[in-house]
Structure 1
Amino acid sequence: MRKIAAQLFISLDGVVEAPDQWHFPYFNEEMGAAVDATLGSADTLLLGRRTYESFAGAWPGREAAGGEDAPFAKVLGDARKIVVSNRPLDPGWRNSERVEGDLAGAVTALKNEPGTDRVWISGSVSVVRQLMAAGLLDVLNLLVHPIAVRKGLRLFEEGEATVPMTLLSCEAFRTGVLNLFYSPTAGAGHGTYEDAKTHLPRH
């Protein structure tokens, strides 16, 4: 069974909107390697319409220009790209297709396809939220930047239900960015102050 994984640039205060306005000062070779290890090795990308249109408006031209980012652009172009959109898709970027029907059903079918490669989501916050709510997201990779943006869309909206996670791995880059991998868990467990105070230092 294939796993669905998402990678997001996120600020200290949880903002994921418009990372192009605050992200680039923190992009170094460590982050480049982290992005390449995910998107650069994926054979299938699952993208929301806005993210797809942003990618399709930039990466084909970069591939054609033959600059230093052309090899990465080619990898993205060669990958299968599945786009979540209620509107017809302009198939100008090769290997692109639109999700047909219910998102949860389409992703469940995708997970059940032969192979073990992960399907990666880049950005596409609404898609990530929907898949988390449906219990279909297997891995959440957050690249936490040491900046409070203080405005813009946040990954987690206000709501009643908590979203417990299990930390799979963590790495600190020289820029202060934290590369965190989580998997959703069924519950946050139980605990009270009476339980916690047994762990307080005793002087």
Structure 2
Amino acid sequence: MRTITAGLFISVDGVVEDPQDWHFPYFNDEMARAVDSQIGSADTLLLGRTTFDGFAAAWPDRELAGGPDAGMAKSLGDARKIVVTTRDLDTTWRNSERLVGDLVPAVTALKDSAGGTIAMSGSVSVVRQLLTAGLLDELHLLVHPVVRYKGLRLFEHGDAPLPLTLRSSTAFETGVVHLVYGPDTAPPAGTYEDAKQFLGDE
């Protein structure tokens, strides 16, 4: 079975909207390596429509320009790109296609198919749905030391707690913390009575 990973730039207060407006001051070689390890080596990208449109408007031109980011641009261009959308898709960016069928069964079938890692970037609504369905294997959060106060948050509404397990934590020189979570199939249980043993005497 293939692995699905998702990466998001996120503020301390959980905002993931328009990271291009606030995260670049914190971008350094450590973050570049983290992003490349999560998305650059994947052979398939699963993207929401908004994220795809933003990528398709920028990365092909960056590949042609041959600048410092041309290598990443080529990797993204070469990857198979599957877009979650109900609207017609402009497939002028090579290797792009629309996800066929309902999200959860279609992604389940994709995970069961042959191939390497399936990576996601942004695509908040898709990430939420795959987390809830138990289809996301790794959630990479690049937590920036900034409070945004407003904007779309990764987690806003839910019917029940969603337990996760921390797989790794890396602090960058900029103050960004790279957290990698996975699903927790055996979350801890306990009550205040259990916790009292760890409280010191007052």
- In the other structure, the counterpart of 1:51 is 51
- In the other structure, the counterpart of 2:11 is 11
Deviations 1:98-138 (A, max 9, x none): 001111111011100124x3200100001001111211111
Output the amino acid matched with 2:188. G
1:196 aligned onto 2:195: yes
Shift, 1:57, TM fit: 0.2
Output the amino acid matched with 2:138. V
Deviations 1:9-32 (A, max 9, x none): 010000010001111110011001
Q: Which consecutive unaligned segments of at least 5 residues does structure 1 have?
A: none
The alignment covers a number of residue pairs equal to: 202
CA contact (8 A) 2:48 2:83 kept: yes
Output the amino acid matched with 1:72. M
Shift, 1:187, TM fit: 5.7
Q: Distance in 1 between matches of 2:36 and 2:135?
A: 24
1:185 aligned onto 2:184: yes
For residue 161 of structure 1, give the secondary structure of its aligned residue in structure 2. Answer: coil
CA contact (8 A) 2:5 2:38 kept: no
Deviations 1:52-104 (A, max 9, x none): 00000000001011111111100100000000000011111000010011111
- In the other structure, the counterpart of 1:148 is 147
CA contact (8 A) 2:7 2:140 kept: yes
Output the amino acid matched with 1:23. H
Deviations 1:116-164 (A, max 9, x none): x320010000100111121111111100001110100000113331111
For residue 58 of structure 1, give the secondary structure of its aligned residue in structure 2. Answer: helix
- In the other structure, the counterpart of 1:163 is 162
Q: Distance in 2 between matches of 1:40 and 1:171?
A: 19
Shift, 1:190, TM fit: 1.9
Shift, 1:40, TM fit: 1.1
CA contact (8 A) 2:132 2:162 kept: no
Q: Which consecutive unaligned segments of at least 5 residues does structure 2 have?
A: none
TM-score for the superposition, normalised by structure 2: 0.96
TM-score for the superposition, normalised by structure 1: 0.96
1:119-130 aligned within 5 A = 119-130=118-129
- In the other structure, the counterpart of 2:104 is 104
Output the amino acid matched with 2:197. T
Q: Distance in 2 between matches of 1:68 and 1:160?
A: 44
Q: Greater CA deviation, 184-193 or 168-177? A: 184-193
Shift, 1:202, TM fit: 5.2
